[in-house]
Amino acid sequence: MSSAPELSLYPNPNRGDQLMINLSAIEEGVSTVSIEMHDLFGKRVSASTIAVNDGFLSTTLELNGTIAAGMYQVTITTGERIYSERLVIQP
């Protein structure tokens, strides 16, 4: 029996410098995931593709202060599944 996937983004709220992303229990056969960040108007502000290691994603996105303060939707696509989490960027 496999465990339920668990997504964590931290720190959240974020200062806009680094965002750590962990996702467990990614389905078998998936070697990369797509990570996109959209603002509340649906505009994509960030996109990247990250390699999966043994069904687990652990990565740090370098935001480098390029994303304005506000609320964003972070979407991670792994094969057939889509995970979504809200992220708050504070000044």
pLDDT at 5: 76
What the chain holds in terms of domains, given with CATH numbers, is 7-89 (2.60.40.1930)
* pLDDT per position as a tens digit, 49-78: 999 988 999 999 999 999 999 999 999 999
- Give the integer Cα–Cα distance in Å for 74 and 91: 18
Residues 35 and 21 sit within 8 Å (Cβ to Cβ): yes
Band of pLDDT at residue 4, cut at 50, 70 and 90: confident
Q: Which residue in 56, 47, 64 sits closest to 22, CA to CA?
A: 56
Output the average pLDDT for the chain: 93
